[in-house]
Amino acid sequence: MRITSSAVSLNVTDPTASAEFLKRHYGFTEDMAAEGFVSLSRPDTAGFNVIFLKTGLSTFKPESAKGHADGLLLVFVVEDIDAEYARVQAEGVAITTPIETEEWGERYFQTADPNGVIIQLVQWMSDPTAAA
């Protein structure tokens, strides 16, 4: 198998609000949009898209997965977590989890988009494979 691109699709009440949040605060751009659907990408994550789908779309398959995007984190690894933390705070984004460093070297913070999707930025302060 050869994977040529990947995406995560998240069911939310208001796809446009989630898309605008990622565009405004995390540098994503809109690739496609239609009623109840927005697909975003970034030039530095080639072949990866974040897709927001409106909950309850009749075309959504499988039926059992039509609910809201709960219990997940949308995580992006960055080079300077402290600079990103200061930037996001300066933009007035509410911080869900303040910056902290785990004993295994993961330094992170979390925000939530208007639909409650948790966005986590991470910087590895040490080699994550060394802790394993």
CA distances (Å), origin 120, targets 20, 62, 88, 113, 123: 17, 27, 12, 11, 10
* Residue-wise pLDDT tens digits, 72-115: 889 999 999 999 999 999 999 999 999 999 999 999 999 999 99
Rounded distance between C-alpha atoms, residue 102 and residue 5, angstroms: 31
* Residue-wise pLDDT tens digits, 23-76: 999 999 999 999 999 999 998 877 789 999 998 887 777 776 667 777 788 999
Query: Quick one: DSSP state of residue 46?
Result: T
